[in-house]
A and B are shown apart, each in its own frame.
Chain A
Amino acid sequence: MSATDGTPRSTRTAAEEATGRHGLHLPHHEHHEHVPVRTKGARVARWFDARVGGARIGRGALKKIFPNHWSFLLGEVALYSFLVLIITGIYLTFFYDANTDITTYQGSYVPLQGQEMSNAFASGLAISFDVRAGLFVRQVHHWSALVFLGAIALHLARVFFTGAFRRPREVNWVIGCSLMLMALGNGFAGYSLLDDQLSGTGLRIAYSVLISIPFIGPWLASLVFGGNFPGEDIIGRLFVIHILVLPVIIGILITVHLTILIKHKHTHFPGKGARDDNVVGERLWPTYTFKAAGLFFIVAAILGLLGGLAQINPVWIYGPFKPENVSSASQPDWYMGWLEGSLRLMPNWETRIGWFTIPNQFYSGVLVAGVAFGIMYAWPWIEARVTKDREEHHVLDRPRDRPWRTAIGAAALTWFTVLGFAGSDDVLAVAFGLSVNALVWTFRIGLFVVPLIVGVITYKLCQELRDRDGPFVDPLLLEGSSGPNGNGSATNGSDGSEGSSGGDDAPDLDLDPDPEHATRR
Chain B
Amino acid sequence: MADEPESTDPSAEGLVPTGTTGHHHDEHEEPGDGGSPRLRQTGGETLPVVAFLLAMVGAVAFVINYIAGNNTQIFGVAVFFMVGGIGVGLVAWAKRYMTPAEPDVEPRGRIASTEEEIAEFKADFDVGEYELERRSLLTKLLVGAATAMGLAALIPLKSLGPSPNESFKVTPWTNGKRLVDEQGNPVRATSVNTNGVITVFPEGDIGDEFSQTLLIGLQPGRLVPVEGREDWTPENLAAFSKVCTHVGCPVGLFEANTGQLLCPCHQSTFDVYAACEPTFGPAATPLPQLPLGIDEEGFVVALGDFSSPPGPGFWNQRQP
Contacts and interface: CB of A to CB of B under 8 A. Distances in A.
Interface of A: 15-16, 18-19, 22, 24, 26-31, 63-65, 68, 132-133, 135-136, 139-140, 168, 201, 204-205, 207-209, 211-215, 217-219, 221-231, 233, 263-265, 272-273, 276-283, 286-287, 290-291, 293-302, 304-309, 322-330, 340, 343-350, 352, 355-361, 364-365, 392, 394, 425-426, 436-437, 440, 484-485
B50 interface: no
B210 A30 contact: no
Interface string B36-51: 1101000000000000
B87 interface: yes
A64 B76 contact: no
Contacts of B134: none
Contacts of B87: 293-301
20 contacts: A18-B28, A30-B36, A31-B35, A201-B265, A212-B314, A218-B168, A225-B161, A228-B210, A280-B105, A282-B100, A291-B95, A304-B84, A307-B72, A330-B249, A343-B246, A344-B266, A350-B284, A355-B319, A360-B284, A426-B267
Contact of B35 (A30, A140, A222): A30
Given A29-B30, A361-B247, A308 B79 contact: yes
- Most A CB within 10 A of own CB, among B85, B91, B108, B283: B108
A456 B242 CA distance: 45
Interface stretch (B118-126, B145-153, B274-282): B274-282
A360 to B, nearest CB: 5
Contacts of A359: 284, 312-315, 317
Contacts of B320: 355
A355 B318 contact: yes
Given A297-B87, A298-B88, 8 more contacts: A22-B26, A276-B108, A293-B87, A347-B282, A350-B284, A356-B315, A356-B319, A357-B315
B105 A28 contact: no
B76 A308 contact: yes
Given A136-B75, A325-B252, A440 B264 contact: no
Interface residues of B, number: 98
A397 to B, nearest CB: 17
B233 interface: no
A22 B25 contact: yes
Given A24-B1, A222-B163, A343 B247 contact: yes
Pairs of residues from A and B, 8 with the lowest C-beta to C-beta distance, nearest first: A308-B76, A301-B84, A297-B87, A30-B35, A359-B313, A304-B79, A294-B90, A218-B164
Contact of A29 (B36, B66, B72): B36
A323 B312 contact: no
B77 interface: yes
A212 B30 contact: no
A301 B80 contact: yes
Contact of A294 (B72, B73, B78, B89): B89
Contact of B315 (A133, A217, A280): A217
Given A291-B91, A343-B266, A355-B320, A286 B76 contact: no
A187 to B, nearest CB: 19
A297 B83 contact: yes
Interface in B18-67: 25-30, 33-37, 39, 66
B281 A440 contact: yes
Contacts of B103: 68, 272-273, 280-282, 484
A344 B267 CA distance: 7
Contacts of A295: 87, 91
B27 A26 contact: yes
Contacts of B30: 29
A205 B247 contact: yes
B209 interface: yes
B94 interface: yes
B162 interface: yes
A297 B95 CA distance: 16
A265 B66 CA distance: 44
A323 B106 contact: no
Contacts of B304: none
Contacts of B315: 212-215, 217-218, 356-359
B249 A205 contact: yes
Contacts of B86: 294, 297
A114 B183 CA distance: 15
Contacts of A27: 29, 35-37, 39
Contact of A301 (B1, B26, B83, B249): B83
B282 A228 contact: no
B257 interface: no
